[in-house]
Structure 1
């Protein structure tokens, strides 16, 4: 077994850059940082409690959760953040621009 890799891999590995950009975007807003710090205590927080901690409108944490799930390609989390699979469009957390 050779654990010493002596060859240079010319293929760019951008996974580190992608990971760092995701972390940077998650903490780019002061209200997001407040929410992340609150969540680090390990207990469950409601959207109302998180919005109070961050000093933002009460629906914003739900919108951010839906947006993060969509950006990450996590369909199940997106559907959950939207209120579930059977929620009517006019009651979903995030709507497209044609339903505003």
Structure 2
């Protein structure tokens, strides 16, 4: 039983460092801005979430933030938008909402 517990903890630590949201080519063209951009048409809002931890091991919060942005960019690309801006900071449970924009560049 002790070996199983150690294996489980090791797996959780490895997964805590892994990226769970790979970037799609369409999402690479979507820009993330800190605040609502000027001169852009609003295209809606997206809610995204990722796993913020495994068992009692919390994931790196910077990595969680990056994955949330990646997912928001993917959702924006699906609706033909090219810019996203966060509505608030990521929550402790690994979710965040973003405003989505169509901007001329």
TM-score (norm 1): 0.25
Q: Give 1 or 2: higher strand fraction.
A: 2
Compare CA radii of gyration and give the structure with the larger one: 1
Using CA pairs under 8 Å that are at least 6 residues apart, name the structure with larger relative contact order, 1 or 2. 2
TM-score (norm 2): 0.25
Q: Give 1 or 2: higher helix fraction.
A: 1
